[in-house]
Amino acid sequence: MAETRKLEGKVALVTGGAQGLGEAILKEFALEGAKTIIFDIDANESNRVKEELRKTNNDTEVVIIDVCNSGAVNIAISKLCKKYKKIDILVNAVGGFYNFDKITDVTDEEWHKVINTNLNSAFYCTRAVMKYMEKSKSGRIINISSGAGIAPNPHAPSYVPYGAAKAGLLGMTKLLARDAGEFGITVNAIAPGTALTPRVKKVRDASSISNIAKMNPLKNIIEPVDCAKAAVFLSSDDARYITGITMMVNAGNLIF
Protein backbone atom coordinates (compact mmCIF):
# COMPACT_ATOMS: atom_id res chain seq x y z
CA MET A 1 0.00 0.00 0.00
CA ALA A 2 1.35 3.45 -0.94
CA GLU A 3 2.41 5.47 2.11
CA THR A 4 0.51 8.72 2.65
CA ARG A 5 2.63 11.82 2.49
CA LYS A 6 2.89 13.43 5.92
CA LEU A 7 2.16 17.06 4.94
CA GLU A 8 -0.34 16.64 2.11
CA GLY A 9 -2.46 19.79 1.70
CA LYS A 10 -0.46 21.85 4.19
CA VAL A 11 0.82 25.34 3.40
CA ALA A 12 4.36 25.77 4.75
CA LEU A 13 6.38 28.97 4.94
CA VAL A 14 10.13 28.56 5.42
CA THR A 15 12.25 31.66 6.05
CA GLY A 16 15.78 31.30 4.73
CA GLY A 17 14.47 28.57 2.42
CA ALA A 18 16.90 29.43 -0.38
CA GLN A 19 19.98 27.84 1.15
CA GLY A 20 21.39 25.55 3.82
CA LEU A 21 19.12 24.13 6.49
CA GLY A 22 16.09 26.14 5.31
CA GLU A 23 16.50 24.77 1.78
CA ALA A 24 16.72 21.18 3.06
CA ILE A 25 13.60 21.68 5.18
CA LEU A 26 11.68 23.26 2.31
CA LYS A 27 12.58 20.42 -0.06
CA GLU A 28 11.63 17.74 2.46
CA PHE A 29 8.30 19.51 3.07
CA ALA A 30 7.68 19.52 -0.69
CA LEU A 31 8.43 15.79 -0.87
CA GLU A 32 5.88 15.24 1.90
CA GLY A 33 3.18 17.01 -0.13
CA ALA A 34 3.20 20.54 1.33
CA LYS A 35 2.65 23.68 -0.72
CA THR A 36 5.86 25.54 0.10
CA ILE A 37 6.76 29.22 0.26
CA ILE A 38 10.29 30.64 0.52
CA PHE A 39 10.93 33.91 2.35
CA ASP A 40 14.52 34.87 1.51
CA ILE A 41 16.62 37.92 0.72
CA ASP A 42 18.65 36.12 -1.96
CA ALA A 43 16.81 36.10 -5.31
CA ASN A 44 19.37 33.98 -7.18
CA GLU A 45 19.41 31.15 -4.65
CA SER A 46 15.62 31.29 -4.21
CA ASN A 47 15.12 30.93 -7.96
CA ARG A 48 17.66 28.08 -8.07
CA VAL A 49 15.62 26.18 -5.46
CA LYS A 50 12.39 26.95 -7.32
CA GLU A 51 13.91 25.59 -10.54
CA GLU A 52 15.25 22.44 -8.81
CA LEU A 53 11.83 21.76 -7.32
CA ARG A 54 10.17 22.34 -10.69
CA LYS A 55 12.32 19.56 -12.16
CA THR A 56 10.90 17.15 -9.60
CA ASN A 57 7.33 18.27 -10.34
CA ASN A 58 7.14 20.33 -7.18
CA ASP A 59 6.40 24.02 -7.01
CA THR A 60 7.37 26.70 -4.52
CA GLU A 61 6.36 30.33 -4.22
CA VAL A 62 9.31 32.69 -3.83
CA VAL A 63 8.99 35.92 -1.85
CA ILE A 64 12.12 38.06 -1.86
CA ILE A 65 12.08 39.81 1.47
CA ASP A 66 14.24 40.97 4.37
CA VAL A 67 12.61 39.26 7.35
CA CYS A 68 14.23 41.80 9.67
CA ASN A 69 11.79 44.36 8.25
CA SER A 70 8.60 43.86 10.29
CA GLY A 71 6.42 46.03 8.02
CA ALA A 72 7.41 44.04 4.95
CA VAL A 73 6.81 40.77 6.83
CA ASN A 74 3.28 41.87 7.87
CA ILE A 75 2.35 42.82 4.32
CA ALA A 76 3.79 39.65 2.75
CA ILE A 77 2.09 37.32 5.23
CA SER A 78 -1.22 39.08 4.93
CA LYS A 79 -1.05 38.69 1.10
CA LEU A 80 -0.20 34.98 1.42
CA CYS A 81 -3.04 34.36 3.86
CA LYS A 82 -5.49 36.03 1.45
CA LYS A 83 -4.18 33.84 -1.37
CA TYR A 84 -3.97 30.47 0.41
CA LYS A 85 -6.60 31.17 3.12
CA LYS A 86 -4.16 29.76 5.71
CA ILE A 87 -0.57 29.09 6.69
CA ASP A 88 -0.28 25.75 8.48
CA ILE A 89 3.46 25.68 9.16
CA LEU A 90 6.03 28.41 9.80
CA VAL A 91 9.72 27.55 10.05
CA ASN A 92 11.92 30.41 11.21
CA ALA A 93 15.27 29.36 9.73
CA VAL A 94 16.87 32.71 8.86
CA GLY A 95 19.93 33.22 11.01
CA GLY A 96 23.60 32.59 11.44
CA PHE A 97 26.76 34.54 12.17
CA TYR A 98 30.05 35.32 10.45
CA ASN A 99 32.48 36.24 13.27
CA PHE A 100 34.16 34.79 16.32
CA ASP A 101 35.17 38.15 17.89
CA LYS A 102 35.55 38.21 21.65
CA ILE A 103 32.90 40.21 23.48
CA THR A 104 35.17 43.25 23.99
CA ASP A 105 35.53 43.55 20.20
CA VAL A 106 31.83 43.20 19.37
CA THR A 107 30.41 46.53 18.17
CA ASP A 108 26.87 47.71 18.94
CA GLU A 109 26.11 47.41 15.25
CA GLU A 110 27.26 43.77 15.08
CA TRP A 111 25.36 42.85 18.26
CA HIS A 112 22.11 44.34 16.94
CA LYS A 113 22.62 42.71 13.53
CA VAL A 114 23.01 39.23 15.01
CA ILE A 115 20.05 39.65 17.38
CA ASN A 116 17.97 41.08 14.54
CA THR A 117 18.74 38.27 12.11
CA ASN A 118 18.43 35.38 14.56
CA LEU A 119 15.74 36.53 17.01
CA ASN A 120 13.80 39.61 15.88
CA SER A 121 13.10 38.12 12.44
CA ALA A 122 11.50 35.05 14.07
CA PHE A 123 9.38 37.30 16.29
CA TYR A 124 8.17 39.36 13.31
CA CYS A 125 7.21 36.29 11.26
CA THR A 126 5.65 34.48 14.22
CA ARG A 127 3.57 37.49 15.27
CA ALA A 128 2.25 37.98 11.75
CA VAL A 129 1.42 34.30 11.18
CA MET A 130 -0.06 33.66 14.65
CA LYS A 131 -3.00 36.03 13.93
CA TYR A 132 -4.10 33.74 11.13
CA MET A 133 -3.25 30.49 12.91
CA GLU A 134 -5.32 31.59 15.91
CA LYS A 135 -8.33 32.15 13.66
CA SER A 136 -7.96 28.73 12.06
CA LYS A 137 -7.30 27.15 15.47
CA SER A 138 -4.31 25.18 14.25
CA GLY A 139 -0.71 25.64 13.26
CA ARG A 140 2.89 24.57 13.68
CA ILE A 141 5.74 26.94 14.44
CA ILE A 142 9.32 25.68 14.38
CA ASN A 143 12.22 27.89 15.41
CA ILE A 144 15.67 26.91 14.18
CA SER A 145 17.82 27.70 17.19
CA SER A 146 21.26 26.17 17.74
CA GLY A 147 23.30 24.16 20.20
CA ALA A 148 24.92 27.54 20.84
CA GLY A 149 21.64 28.66 22.44
CA ILE A 150 22.02 25.88 25.02
CA ALA A 151 25.76 25.80 25.79
CA PRO A 152 29.10 26.63 24.17
CA ASN A 153 30.27 24.11 21.56
CA PRO A 154 32.54 21.75 23.57
CA HIS A 155 34.86 21.11 20.60
CA ALA A 156 35.16 24.42 18.72
CA PRO A 157 34.82 28.21 19.19
CA SER A 158 31.38 29.74 19.90
CA TYR A 159 30.15 33.31 19.38
CA VAL A 160 28.46 35.15 22.28
CA PRO A 161 25.96 37.38 20.34
CA TYR A 162 24.80 34.33 18.37
CA GLY A 163 24.39 32.14 21.46
CA ALA A 164 22.46 34.94 23.16
CA ALA A 165 20.09 35.31 20.20
CA LYS A 166 19.57 31.55 19.91
CA ALA A 167 18.93 31.24 23.67
CA GLY A 168 16.33 34.00 23.26
CA LEU A 169 14.69 31.95 20.54
CA LEU A 170 14.45 28.95 22.89
CA GLY A 171 12.85 31.17 25.55
CA MET A 172 10.35 32.50 23.02
CA THR A 173 9.55 28.93 21.94
CA LYS A 174 8.72 27.76 25.47
CA LEU A 175 6.67 30.77 26.54
CA LEU A 176 4.76 30.98 23.29
CA ALA A 177 4.03 27.24 23.33
CA ARG A 178 1.96 27.74 26.48
CA ASP A 179 0.01 30.72 25.12
CA ALA A 180 -0.54 29.17 21.68
CA GLY A 181 -1.77 25.79 22.96
CA GLU A 182 -5.38 26.91 23.45
CA PHE A 183 -5.51 27.70 19.72
CA GLY A 184 -4.29 24.25 18.71
CA ILE A 185 -0.89 25.66 17.71
CA THR A 186 2.33 23.87 18.63
CA VAL A 187 5.60 25.77 18.98
CA ASN A 188 8.88 23.87 19.03
CA ALA A 189 12.56 24.45 18.41
CA ILE A 190 15.27 22.51 16.65
CA ALA A 191 18.79 23.03 17.97
CA PRO A 192 21.10 21.78 15.21
CA GLY A 193 24.73 20.95 15.70
CA THR A 194 27.24 21.98 13.05
CA ALA A 195 26.22 21.13 9.47
CA LEU A 196 28.22 22.00 6.37
CA THR A 197 25.93 24.64 4.84
CA PRO A 198 27.34 27.30 2.47
CA ARG A 199 27.56 29.74 5.39
CA VAL A 200 29.32 27.32 7.74
CA LYS A 201 31.86 26.50 5.03
CA LYS A 202 32.81 30.19 5.14
CA VAL A 203 32.75 30.68 8.88
CA ARG A 204 34.39 27.54 10.32
CA ASP A 205 37.85 26.35 9.31
CA ALA A 206 38.50 22.74 8.28
CA SER A 207 40.22 21.83 11.56
CA SER A 208 37.25 23.07 13.58
CA ILE A 209 34.91 20.93 11.49
CA SER A 210 37.04 17.80 11.69
CA ASN A 211 37.48 18.31 15.44
CA ILE A 212 33.73 18.54 15.97
CA ALA A 213 33.15 15.44 13.81
CA LYS A 214 35.87 13.47 15.63
CA MET A 215 34.71 14.43 19.12
CA ASN A 216 30.96 14.04 18.58
CA PRO A 217 29.80 10.72 20.14
CA LEU A 218 28.38 9.64 16.75
CA LYS A 219 31.75 10.47 15.12
CA ASN A 220 30.37 12.78 12.46
CA ILE A 221 28.63 16.09 11.90
CA ILE A 222 24.99 16.21 10.90
CA GLU A 223 23.69 16.89 7.40
CA PRO A 224 20.96 19.46 6.63
CA VAL A 225 18.53 16.65 5.79
CA ASP A 226 18.73 15.45 9.42
CA CYS A 227 17.18 18.75 10.54
CA ALA A 228 14.69 18.56 7.70
CA LYS A 229 13.44 15.14 8.88
CA ALA A 230 13.03 16.53 12.41
CA ALA A 231 11.05 19.48 11.02
CA VAL A 232 8.75 17.13 9.08
CA PHE A 233 8.11 15.12 12.24
CA LEU A 234 7.33 18.23 14.32
CA SER A 235 4.98 19.48 11.56
CA SER A 236 3.17 16.17 11.14
CA ASP A 237 0.19 14.66 12.95
CA ASP A 238 2.64 12.29 14.66
CA ALA A 239 3.74 15.27 16.80
CA ARG A 240 0.26 16.69 17.50
CA TYR A 241 0.81 16.76 21.28
CA ILE A 242 4.45 17.79 21.27
CA THR A 243 4.94 21.46 22.11
CA GLY A 244 7.50 23.65 23.85
CA ILE A 245 10.39 21.26 23.24
CA THR A 246 13.85 21.71 21.81
CA MET A 247 14.86 18.84 19.56
CA MET A 248 18.65 18.58 19.52
CA VAL A 249 19.88 17.26 16.15
CA ASN A 250 23.62 17.21 16.75
CA ALA A 251 25.26 13.75 16.60
CA GLY A 252 25.61 13.97 20.38
CA ASN A 253 27.59 17.24 20.36
CA LEU A 254 25.67 18.32 23.47
CA ILE A 255 23.99 15.80 25.76
CA PHE A 256 21.78 16.87 28.67
Ligand X SMILES: NC(=O)c1ccc[n+]([C@@H]2O[C@H](COP(=O)([O-])OP(=O)(O)OC[C@H]3O[C@@H](n4cnc5c(N)ncnc54)[C@H](O)[C@@H]3O)[C@@H](O)[C@H]2O)c1
Binding stretches for ligand X (CB under 6 A): 16, 18-22, 40-42, 45, 65-68, 93-96, 117-118, 121, 144, 146, 192, 194-195, 197-200
Q: Of 20 and 161, which CB lies nearer to ligand X in the complex structure?
A: 20
The single residue of 84, 98, 124, 159 carrying the catalytic annotation is 159
Q: Facing residues of 13 across strands? A: 37, 90
Q: Of 92 and 186, which CB lies nearer to ligand X in the complex structure?
A: 92
DSSP track, the chain: -PPPPTTTT-EEEEETTTSHHHHHHHHHHHHTT-EEEEEES-HHHHHHHHHHHHHTT--EEEEE--TT-HHHHHHHHHHHHHHHS---EEEE----------GGG--HHHHHHHHIIIIIHHHHHHHHHHHHHHHHT-EEEEEE--GGGTS--TTS---HHHHHHHHHHHHHHHHHHHHHGGGTEEEEEEEE--B--HHHHHHS-HHHHHHHHHHSTTSS-B-HHHHHHHHHHHHSGGGTT--S-EEEESTTSS--
Q: C-beta of 168: minimal distance to ligand X in Å?
A: 12
Residues 6+ apart with CB under 8 A from 18: 38, 40, 42, 45, 46, 48, 49, 62
Q: C-beta of 199: minimal distance to ligand X in Å?
A: 3
Q: C-beta of 194: minimal distance to ligand X in Å?
A: 4
Amino acid at 8: E
User: Annotated catalytic, 132?
Assistant: no
Q: Residues 208, 194, 99, CA angle at the centre, nearest 5°?
A: 65
Q: Of 208 and 236, which CB lies nearer to ligand X in the complex structure?
A: 208
Q: C-beta of 204: minimal distance to ligand X in Å?
A: 8
Q: Which residue is nearest to ligand X (CB)?
A: 20
Q: Of 22 and 161, which CB lies nearer to ligand X in the complex structure?
A: 22
Q: Of 58 and 197, which CB lies nearer to ligand X in the complex structure?
A: 197
Q: C-beta of 97: minimal distance to ligand X in Å?
A: 7
- Give the catalytic positions in this structure: 159
